[in-house]
Structure 1
C-alpha cells in the first residue's frame, strides 16, 4: 500500500483488502494480453493526457486492468460501480491503495448510495464517460446540462445502455457522440455469447449447486447473450426452451435445435429461468402463478427489472434466504419460487462475471473507443457511432497474436480478383 493511498478520494469497504485485490488484478491481467499491449502503448504516447474521465462499470479484476490502462494513457479517471452487487471490494481497495485511482463502490450499496456516487462522478466534470447502462449519461443529460459543453463523448457496452442512448438521440437530447462498443464484433460475438454464457451458469451453480443435466431451462431472449446461455445450458445436459418476440431470432433458435414457445406456455415446463432481454417484467405475476413448485428464476440482463419482484413479493406469504444470493418466495397457493441474486446480474452477484480472456477484447474496445473520441474531438456528429472496423480488426489481430495463431494473407492475384467486377467464372 502506498503512503499516499489514504489521500486519494474514495469510498470503498476496507483498504486493508488491497493486498488480496492486487493479487487478483494481476492474475486477471495474465489473461488480458490485448489490453496489456494497449496499456504499454498508452504509457508511451499518453493519448488521454489531460482528459477527465468517469467510468461507471462493474468493479471487477478485469475493470481494474482497464482503469490502470486508462491512467497509463494520461486520463484523470474516477471509477464508480454500475451495479450494487457486482463490486469486488478487494479490487476497489487495491485501485485506491496501489494505483491512486479514486473509486466509489461498495458491494451491496443501496440505491441512495449508488445515486450519490453518480453525482460524485459528475462532480468530476468529465470529458469522457464510460458507461454501463447509461445511468451517468442520462443523469448528466437530465440534470447537469451546464456540463454538456465539457463532454467529448461517451462509450457504452451494454445492450440496455445502447437502447437508452438511441432513445435519447430520438428525443433530441443526446448532443454528443456515443461509441457503440456493444456492437463491435470483438465484443458481442465473444463477450455476450461466450462470456455471458459461461458466467451466467457459473453464477447459477455457485448460488444453488444444482445439477443442470436433465433440467428444463427456459431462456428468455435469443440475442447474443441468450444464445450463449442456451448453448452452455444445453452443453451441460439441460433441455432448453427459448422465448422470443423477434420472428427472425425465434426462427434462428428453432434452427439451432431449441424449442421455441411463448412464456405463458414455457412456464408449465421450466425448472430454471434465465432472462437476458434488456426489457421490463419479462417474468411477471401470471407466470409465477403457473410455474412448477420451487422453480428457480434469475436474470443476466443489465438492470434488475426483468423479473417483477414487486408483484412476486405481493404474492408471497413468506420470503426467506435459503443460501447466499438465494431467496425462496413462498406463495399463498403453497408453491414457492426461488429468486437468485435479488434479480440482478447473476453472473456478477453470485460469481465473478465474465472470464478475463473475454473481457480483454471488450475493454480493449473501451480503451480504443476513448482514444478515438479524443482524436476525433469536434469531428463526430451527435448520436451513436460504431467502433471503426479497423479498430475491431486490430483487436482481433492482437488477440490472435497473443494466442500464437497465424492467418492466411491474400495474394496479389486474390486482392485483384476481390476488387474487380470484370473477372468472372
Structure 2
C-alpha cells in the first residue's frame, strides 16, 4: 500500500501502542454487550474471509468494535471520519493487531484525510462501516469497480443516513446499507444521552465555564438536540431551542423550553450548540447580534453549521485564547469564541473522549450484529437504505439488560394473541 499507516508516521510507535492499549482495555472492561458479542464471534467466526473497510472516530470505544470485527475473522482497514477526532495512540494500538491496518491520524489536512480513506479501499472491502458516509461516497465516485464485490455496509450517524437516503432517492446508491443510526438502541441512547452528555461536558472542560444561570441555545430539536437541551436544563441553564420543523418546535415548547428563531436567540444566548446536521445554522446576521464572550460549539457532524468564513470576514482579529478555543474579535470589541474549529465538540476538542463508554457499547453492539447480518444474509437485501431488523436491535437490548441484572416481563400467549388480532374489541 502506498499510503503510510499510523505506525509509519509516529516517532514513538511502541509508546503510543502501550498508551492506546490501556485506553482500549479500559473501554472494553465497561462494554458488556461487546464482550458478549466478542465471545460469540470468536467461537463462530461469522466474518471469516471478509474484508471490512471502516471510516469512524478512531478512539477507544471504536477500537473495541474494530477488534471484535477482526476477532470474528475479518481483515480490517480503518481510518478516521473527522480530522480532529482520532486518538493517535489508539490508532497505533489497532495497527499492531495482525488483522487490522490503521491509517487514522489526528490533525491531517483534507488531502491526507481523503488519501487515508482511499487507502482503506485499496484493501478491496466486502463490507463497509461508515460514520458520515465518506467511504460510501468515495466508492461510488472513485472506486465503482469495487461495488460488485461489496456485500453491503452500515452507517452510524444521522448525517450519514441523510446522505445515503438522498443517494437512494436519486437511484445512485448501488449496494445495501443498514441505517444503524435509526434503530431505537442508537437513537434513544447514543443520540440523546451520548451527544447530550459528551457535548456539554466537553464544552465545560474546554472552557472551564459553568452552565448554571446561563442561557444555552440549542439549534435543532432532533434526538441529539433533545439530549443537549435536557442535559443543559439539568445543569440549571435556561434553554432556548431553535427549529425549522413545526412539530419539533411545538414539542420543545411543550417540554418547557423557550422556542424562537435564531435571529432572536442570538441576542439572548451565552452558549450556542448546533445539532442539525445542516449548514449555515449560525451566520453573519446572528454574529452581529451576539453579546461579548459568547461560546459557539457544534454537535452535528461536519464543520458547516457555524459559518466560520462569515465570522472571519466580520472579525478584526482572531487568536487562540485557550486550547481548543478560538476568539474572534469584532470591530466593536465584542469577542465570539468558537470551540474545536467548529467541528464535533465532543470528539474534536483537545480534551474530547467521545460519548460515554456504556452508551457506545450499545451503538457498537448494533453495528457488530449488523455486519454479521449483512454477511450472512446479503442476498436478502437489494441496493438501497435498509432499516435494521428489529430482532437484531432487541438482541442487543436483551444482552444489555442481562448484563445489568435487569429482568422484564414477557407477554403471555393470550396477550400476544390479543395484540396480534383485529377481532378483539371490548
TM-score, length-scaled by structure 1: 0.96
Taking the aligned partners of 2:414 and 2:384, their CA distance within structure 1 comes to 40
Alignment correspondent of 1:371: 372
Q: Contact between 2:76 and 2:99, CA under 8 Å: does it hold in 1?
A: no
Alignment correspondent of 1:168: 167
Q: Contact between 1:62 and 1:356, CA under 8 Å: does it hold in 2?
A: yes
Taking the aligned partners of 1:128 and 1:333, their CA distance within structure 2 comes to 54
Q: For residues 53-99 of structure 1, give each alpha carbon's deviation from its aligned partner in whole angstroms, at most 9, with x where no partner exists.
A: 10100001000000110001111101100011111111111112255
Alignment correspondent of 1:387: 388
2:201 equivalent to 1:225: no
Which stretch of the first structure deviates more once superposed, 23-32 or 275-284? 23-32
Taking the aligned partners of 1:8 and 1:208, their CA distance within structure 2 comes to 33
Alignment correspondent of 1:182: 181
Q: Report deviation, 1:50.
A: 0.8
Matches within 5 A, 1:58-73: 58-73=57-72
Q: For residues 8-47 of structure 1, give each alpha carbon's deviation from its aligned partner in whole angstroms, at most 9, with x where no partner exists.
A: 8855544121112111111111221111111111111111
Q: For residues 361-400 of structure 1, give each alpha carbon's deviation from its aligned partner in whole angstroms, at most 9, with x where no partner exists.
A: 1111111111111112233111110110100111100000
Alignment correspondent of 2:279: 280
Residue 337 of structure 1 aligns to a residue whose secondary structure is strand
Q: Report deviation, 1:100.
A: 5.0
Residue 380 of structure 2 aligns to a residue whose secondary structure is coil
CA shift in 2, pair 1:62/1:99, >3 Å:
farther
Taking the aligned partners of 1:231 and 1:11, their CA distance within structure 2 comes to 44
Aligned-pair Cα RMSD in Å: 1.4
Alignment correspondent of 1:414: 415
CA shift in 2, pair 1:342/1:101, >3 Å:
same
Matches within 5 A, 1:20-419: 20-98=19-97, 100-350=99-349, 351-419=352-420
Which stretch of the first structure deviates more once superposed, 255-264 or 409-418? 409-418
Q: Report deviation, 1:112.
A: 1.3
CA shift in 2, pair 1:9/1:196, >3 Å:
closer
Residue 378 of structure 1 aligns to a residue whose secondary structure is helix
Q: Contact between 1:12 and 1:104, CA under 8 Å: does it hold in 2?
A: no
Taking the aligned partners of 1:52 and 1:336, their CA distance within structure 2 comes to 49
Taking the aligned partners of 1:317 and 1:8, their CA distance within structure 2 comes to 40
Taking the aligned partners of 2:6 and 2:105, their CA distance within structure 1 comes to 14
Q: Contact between 2:6 and 2:88, CA under 8 Å: does it hold in 1?
A: no
Q: For residues 330-387 of structure 1, give each alpha carbon's deviation from its aligned partner in whole angstroms, at most 9, with x where no partner exists.
A: 1123211100000000001121010110001111111111111111223311111011
Taking the aligned partners of 2:68 and 2:78, their CA distance within structure 1 comes to 13
Q: Contact between 2:75 and 2:99, CA under 8 Å: does it hold in 1?
A: no
Taking the aligned partners of 2:413 and 2:128, their CA distance within structure 1 comes to 43
CA shift in 2, pair 1:11/1:59, >3 Å:
farther
Which stretch of the first structure deviates more once superposed, 97-106 or 198-207? 97-106
Q: For residues 169-189 of structure 1, give each alpha carbon's deviation from its aligned partner in whole angstroms, at most 9, with x where no partner exists.
A: 122211111100000110110
Taking the aligned partners of 1:98 and 1:383, their CA distance within structure 2 comes to 33
Residue 370 of structure 1 aligns to a residue whose secondary structure is helix
TM-score, length-scaled by structure 2: 0.96
Taking the aligned partners of 1:346 and 1:8, their CA distance within structure 2 comes to 26
Taking the aligned partners of 1:199 and 1:274, their CA distance within structure 2 comes to 12
Taking the aligned partners of 1:193 and 1:170, their CA distance within structure 2 comes to 28
Q: For residues 393-412 of structure 1, give each alpha carbon's deviation from its aligned partner in whole angstroms, at most 9, with x where no partner exists.
A: 11100000000100012223
Q: Contact between 2:6 and 2:104, CA under 8 Å: does it hold in 1?
A: no
Q: Contact between 1:230 and 1:240, CA under 8 Å: does it hold in 2?
A: yes
Taking the aligned partners of 1:20 and 1:217, their CA distance within structure 2 comes to 36
Alignment correspondent of 1:3: none
Q: For residues 302-334 of structure 1, give each alpha carbon's deviation from its aligned partner in whole angstroms, at most 9, with x where no partner exists.
A: 111111111111111111101110000011232
Which stretch of the first structure deviates more once superposed, 11-20 or 393-402? 11-20
Which stretch of the first structure deviates more once superposed, 310-319 or 221-230? 310-319
Q: Which runs of 5+ in 2 are unaligned?
A: none
Taking the aligned partners of 2:309 and 2:145, their CA distance within structure 1 comes to 36
Taking the aligned partners of 1:387 and 1:323, their CA distance within structure 2 comes to 42
Q: Which runs of 5+ in 1 are unaligned?
A: 1-6
Aligned length: 419
